[in-house]
Structure 1
Amino acid sequence: MLEDRPGLIEAIRDRFAHVETCPFDGPRIFFENAGGALRLKSVIETSAAYAGYPDNQGRDNPASKALMAAIARGKVDMALFLNTPGGQVFTGESGSEVLFRLIRTAALGAMPGGVMLGSTLEHPASRSAMARWAEVTGRPHVLVAHDDATGTVGLGAYLERITPEVRVATIVQTSPVTGMAVDVAAITAAIRERAPEAFIIIDGIQHASHGHVDCAAYRADGYAVSPYKVFSRHGYGVGWASDRLTACTKEQILGGPEAAWELGTRDAGAYATFSDVVAYFDWLGGEVSDAATPRARIEAAAAAIHDHEARLMDAMLHGTGNLRGLAEMPGVTVIGGTGTEGREGVVSLTLEGLSSADLVQHLADQGIRVHIRKDDHYCGNILHPLGLADCVRVSVCHYNTTAEVARFLAAMELAVARRRARLPES
């Protein structure tokens, strides 16, 4: 665990802005990481610097050449972080926009006929894009049902729907509501076996900050990341497209490079800030391992992050010190069950007798930032089948600590006591 190494968690937290204090609201514990992670201080500095440069790309002057070098370096770093087997990395408007673009290109470039395959676990970005382009191309949009009890979708459920007719398939790697991961490699392998020509697009937006990303192992054609959820900033998304998907007809400037995915002049600062993120993973990997190469250090960092967050999740669900966990608290229901295996940094819950809005406010009063999720176009796919109008999402990242989890559990005990006081006597 990162906290087991003397001074390491402090060094980690020192690299992030606003770890303990909100600039608007004062001291607080930040458990709203699924809505956007804390920003690296280096990202903030880089963003400010690049925002101030007046020069444009493609000019014959030192400033322009520096911008082009930052873009080239950023692409190398993106490919390194994603471990891409060839293809193209690029930036877009957002992670959602990148998903729409990848899916649109796949739907229009796939062989005629067949079906488009997704799941009910998916974020509306990929699910909406699939629905849109299934309609345009006249294909059925087949949805694999996720398991309400476990909060994920397994290989077995996919196998019932994977046929040679699949033309485009989407997979969400981790649910942003349940926090439960999906076995992407097993599902892509099954699709490749039965529908080898299908285009496969992975939504890695919720997963990327919590664990290992390895596009080479997934055998997919597209991958999307939202950098603001991986310690960078808002305003851009990162995508990867395989050589096969890149060869499909797509929106491009006439006469421009055939392999290009970018449209118009992109923000060099976006590429530069993603390089900051990769440099951070490289640094952390060097702190937790003796790995000799940047990719190996990134993998070591991902493993350490996964282990640390798994222990935070175990403490939150099953207790730490003399504090009981959410699983033992009366009236608390955890969406997707109380298991920790496959859970990546997120616990969504309800407390009987206390509304989600009141619980969010109660926790805010105790100095803990969480978020309400509602049965709407973002989370209705998870909450509506459960008959829930809303829930409270608590999300951690590797810079959070066991002490912060303990403070959260103590605050939840106060909420449980408040809820008991409201219940009528039997």
Structure 2
Amino acid sequence: MKQRNTELFPHDLAEQLASQFHFLNEDPYGNPRLFFENSGGSLRLKAAVEAQTRLSALPDCPERTHDIALGIRDEINKGEKDIRLFLNAKSGTIASSFTASKIMFDIVSVLGASIKNRNIVTTAVEHPSSYDACKFASEANGHELRVAAADPKSGSIPLANILELVDDKTVLVSVIMTSNITGAVHDIGTYAAAIRGKNPDTFIVVDAVQGAPHGPVDVDSWGIDALNIAPYKMFGNRGVGFAFLSDRVASLPHHRLLASPKNNWDVGSPTPAHYASFSAIIDYICDIGRYFTENEDRRSLIAEGMQRIHLQEQALLHRLLHGSANQPGTKQMENVTVHFEEANGVNQDLILALTFNNMSCAEAVDRYGKHGVLVYARESSSHYSKRILEAVNLDAIVRVSPIHCHTTEDVDRFLEVTQIIAESHVVSEAGR
């Protein structure tokens, strides 16, 4: 396995970042809690919540010409510019919808309808929003749906498994940047280049909802056609999803107000608060970058900040796996199995997929909760999880997902609780 870079934030920076989040160390009722469930949502930046509130309070229409309206329009324009900078989208269109899942359905539906009776390639670990959108688009337009198989050891989709399905009749290829269940990270630039090598004209669509909060995104260098993100997964608020669309995607026939430009995908007026809130997130990322570089170019600061977030999270993952001098890691604990990480090496998000020999995943999650640790059981009974878990030969996992503002002390506390759970015994059903 490749050596993992374990570069933690300096202590003063870590303290500064931690102070900027709501409910980092306690729940809304004041109870101590470790929130290790950021793949189901995310801890919220105070500045993002404040920006949302500030703009939501304004009654003015941004389409007017008085000072308040023009100020709101400036916030929207700044927010869209920040989305472009974050994605490194030097061309194309930025679109929004109520959720990232909804905009993924919109994108795939338009691409699937652009030509009939061909094929669509997706993967076994896609989020339901992209996988199901591909299935609907295939059935509606006479396409064959081809599904690239997962590697159960890594929880990823080997590039070869995608390429063997791509031919000159492939309309689109949908590939997830990072699995929100297995934590596997796909090198989108490499995957896109190889797919283009087989079919230069196919549309490449990327679900970056899980990946975007944890590492750099660069749609320009990747050469892809569409990508979605969800601000609520990256320290912001629910209620909006954003997407990048290449020029050739944006101009395809789609629902729009007919008097608006042909590349406009926003039906109706934008919500100013969503854009102001996203700019607050970008300000935060830039502050992290500014700690490590004197370069004041905003895109450079974003790239530096996201790379530092990635390194911090890799260091936390290393400690979760291997522990410290005083606390064994999950890989050293009896009754605990860590899935996927060994095969992924450095291509692993800050997600631990665990199972316990001495209890079910649901029971383990319940026990974590009693110790003030919030994690989640992904089970095959859930329509969000069933297909993906079956693809990697599992029935359930305990998903553990901290983020960069957590500390080694948080990790050690989690490991202490995990060891208690691993050494405990489940009461039999008959004895309950």
Q: Which bracket does the TM-score occupy, shorter chain normalised?
A: over 0.9
Which residue is equivalent to 1:194? 198
Structure 2 CA distance for partners of 1:75 and 1:386, relative to 1, 3 Å? closer
Instruction: Quote how far apart the aligned CAs of 1:419 are.
Output: 3.4
After superposition, residues 224-373 of structure 1 pair within 5 angstroms as 224-338=228-342, 340-373=345-378
Contact 2:37 2:400 (8 Å CA) reproduced: yes
Query: Which secondary structure state, in structure 1, belongs to the residue aligned with residue 212 of structure 2?
Result: coil
Of the three residues 103, 114, 117, the one matched with 2:118 is 114
SS state of the match for residue 84, structure 1? Answer: coil
Q: Is the 8 A contact 2:152 2:393 kept in 1?
A: no
2:104 aligned with 1:99 = yes
Structure 2 Cα separation of the partners of residues 18 and 65 of structure 1? 35
Mapped to 2, the partners of 1:138 and 1:364 lie a distance apart of 47
Q: How many residues align structurally?
A: 421
Is the contact made by 1:148 and 1:382 (CA closer than 8 Å) also made in structure 2?
no
What residue identity is the alignment partner of 2:351?
V
Q: Distance in 2 between matches of 1:55 and 1:421?
A: 60
Among 419, 423, 428, which residue is 1:417 paired with? 423
Task: Tell me the alpha carbon deviations over residues 17-46 of structure 1, each in whole angstroms, 9 at most, x when there is no partner.
Answer: 111111136111111111111111111111
Matched, 1:145 2:149: yes
CA separation of 1:195 and 1:385: change in aligned 2, threshold 3 A: closer
Paired residues of 2:150 and 2:156 also in contact (CA < 8 A):
yes
- AA partner of residue 314 (structure 1): H
Separation of aligned partners in 1, 2:223 and 2:338:
33
Q: Verify: 1:15 aligned to 2:20, yes or no.
A: yes
Match of 1:215 in 2: 219
Where 1:205 maps in the other structure, the secondary structure is coil
Range with bigger deviation, 66-75 or 222-231: 66-75
- 3-state SS in 1 of match to 2:213: coil
Quick one: which amino acid aligns to residue 277 of structure 2?
T
CA-to-aligned-CA distance 1:163-188 (integer Å, 9 cap, x gap): 11211111100000011101211111
| 2:390 alignment partner in structure 1 | 384
Q: Structure 2 vs 1, CA of residues 6 and 356 (structure 1 numbering), >3 Å: closer, same or farther?
A: closer
Equivalence for 2:178 = 174
Between 1:294-303 and 1:127-136, the stretch displaced more is 294-303
1:94 counterpart letter in structure 2 = T
Q: Which runs of 5+ in 1 are unaligned?
A: none
The residue identity in structure 1 corresponding to 2:401 is: S
1:89 to partner: Cα distance:
0.9
- Deviation of the 1:301 alpha carbon: 0.9
Mean alpha-carbon deviation: is it higher for 76-85 or for 379-388?
379-388
What is the identity percentage for the equivalent residue pairs of Structure 1 and Structure 2? 29
Task: Say whether the 8 Å CA contact 1:2–1:9 is kept in structure 2.
Answer: no
Letter in 2 for 1:31: F
Q: Does the 8 Å contact 1:167/1:195 carry over to 2?
A: no
1:96-137 deviation per Cα after TM superposition (whole angstroms, max 9, x unaligned): 01111111121122x443210110010101000000011111
CA–CA separation in structure 2 for the residues paired with 1:188 and 1:85: 18
What code does the residue aligned with 1:272 have?
A: A
Which residue does 1:80 correspond to in 2?
A: 85
Unaligned runs of at least 5 residues, structure 2: 1-5
Q: Give the CA deviation at 1:283.
A: 1.0
* Distance change >3 Å, CA 141–CA 125, structure 1 → 2: same
Distance (Å, rounded) in 2 between the aligned partners of 1:395 and 1:341:
16
What TM-score, normalized to structure 2? 0.94
Structure 2: which amino acid aligns with 1:346?
I
TM-aligned CA deviation for residue 216 of structure 1: 0.7
Which letter does structure 2 place at the counterpart of 1:406? D
Q: Is the 8 A contact 1:74 1:274 kept in 2?
A: yes
For 2:395 and 2:9, how far apart are their aligned partners in 1? 40
Runs of 4+ aligned residues of structure 1 deviating over 6 Å after TM superposition are none
Counterpart of 2:29 in structure 1 is 24
Could you tell me how far apart the structure 2 residues matched to 1:2 and 1:24 are? 34
What letter corresponds to residue 31 of structure 2 in structure 1?
G
Aligned equivalent of 1:62: 67
What is the one-letter code of the residue matched to 2:383? Answer: H
Contact 2:153-2:392 at 8 Å conserved across structures: no
Root-mean-square deviation (CA, aligned residues, Å) is 1.7
The TM-score with structure 1 as length reference comes to: 0.95
Partners of 2:332 and 2:239 lie apart in 1 by 41
